[in-house]
């Protein structure tokens, strides 16, 4: 049997199809203005790469900000639950999951089955999110894909004291005017964002293995700075960004099995 998961985030849309517990295909595209159309597009692309039809999927779960706008999903589940389930699939030893997304960040304590035991989140401020990094990269005229690598070349990170995105951008502009090297400013930005995330994450029990999910997990600078600020090794994987959609697909399988057993 095949099952699907769709994660409609603020910046990207992800789809994963599994067969039993094997990943058949996965797709990531930029999030569009019309959530329903974006959901259909990302799923169609995934189905096409697998050579199957939507009718071949026994059950589909949606998650993320736009989860209620996925017309072909049979069930909607929060991204916290889905990221925990997906993280458990990727790393069997995961006990702390940190998800840094485009518009919010979360930390979850999970058990050996991927069930959420406790969680905290920051959703009222862009600080500690992918959007914060985007704004800072724009201010420095640096490609976001290069941001993390550049930060790791600094030996003297600049001090970014404000965690308000607007004020932090002003600080960055002041550092530029003073002639500070870009690498030091960028390193300071990464230190600031991960310091905030680490403070949030400590509100749940930090137990190894600690894993990072979400699109920001691809940023090596964030990973290194978070390890320093949290005092724990941070695990990432090429599937990290897909954890939400993967978890949704796994929960779709669980939901279908429950229905069959009823």
Q: What is the CATH number of the domain that holds 63?
A: 3.30.420.40
214 and 247 both lie in a single domain: no
5 and 29 both lie in a single domain: yes
225 and 132 both lie in a single domain: yes
82 and 119 both lie in a single domain: no
- HSE value, Cβ hemisphere, 13 Å, CA-based, for 180: 22
102 and 83 both lie in a single domain: no
Whether the full predicted model's pTM is greater than 0.85, yes or no, is: yes
The Cα–Cα gap between 162 and 159 comes to 9
21 and 130 both lie in a single domain: no
100 and 220 both lie in a single domain: yes
> Domain span at residue 75?
1-91+242-262
- Per the structure, how many domains does the chain have? 2
228 and 252 both lie in a single domain: no
77 and 142 both lie in a single domain: no
- CB neighbourhood size of 113 (10 A): 8
60 and 76 both lie in a single domain: yes
- pLDDT per residue rounded down to tens, the chain (262 residues): 999 999 999 889 999 999 988 999 999 999 988 999 999 999 999 999 999 999 999 999 999 989 999 999 999 999 999 999 999 999 999 999 999 988 889 999 999 999 999 999 986 666 667 888 988 899 899 999 999 999 999 999 999 887 677 788 889 899 999 999 999 999 999 998 899 899 999 999 899 999 999 999 999 999 999 999 999 999 999 999 999 999 999 999 999 999 999 8
Residue of 31, 54, 34 whose CA lies nearest to 44: 54
66 and 105 both lie in a single domain: no
108 and 186 both lie in a single domain: yes
């Amino acid at each position: 049997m095949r099952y699907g998961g769709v994660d409609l985030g603020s910046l990207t849309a992800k789809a994963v199809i599994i067969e039993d517990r094997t990943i058949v295909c996965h797709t990531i595209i930029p999030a569009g203005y019309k959530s329903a159309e974006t959901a259909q597009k990302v799923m169609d692309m995934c189905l096409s790469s697998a050579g199957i039809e939507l009718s071949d999927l026994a059950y589909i779960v949606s998650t993320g900000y736009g989860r209620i706008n996925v017309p072909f999903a049979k069930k909607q589940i929060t991204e916290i639950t889905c990221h925990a389930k997906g993280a458990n699939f990727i790393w069997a030893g995961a006990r702390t999951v940190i998800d840094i997304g485009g518009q919010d960040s979360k930390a979850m304590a999970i058990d050996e089955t991927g069930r959420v035991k406790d969680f905290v989140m920051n959703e009222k401020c862009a600080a500690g999110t992918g959007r914060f990094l985007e704004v800072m990269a724009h201010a420095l005229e640096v490609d976001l894909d290069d941001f993390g690598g550049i930060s790791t070349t600094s030996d003297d990170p600049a001090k970014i004291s404000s965690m308000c995105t607007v004020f932090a951008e002003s600080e960055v502009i002041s550092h530029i005017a003073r002639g500070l090297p870009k690498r030091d400013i960028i390193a300071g930005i990464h230190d600031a964002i991960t310091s905030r995330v680490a403070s949030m994450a400590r509100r749940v029990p930090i137990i190894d293995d600690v894993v990072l999910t979400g699109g920001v997990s691809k940023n090596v600078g964030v990973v290194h700075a978070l390890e320093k600020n949290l005092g724990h090794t941070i695990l990432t994987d090429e599937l990290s960004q897909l954890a939400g959609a993967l978890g949704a697909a796994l929960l779709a399988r669980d939901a279908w099995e429950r229905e069959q057993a009823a």
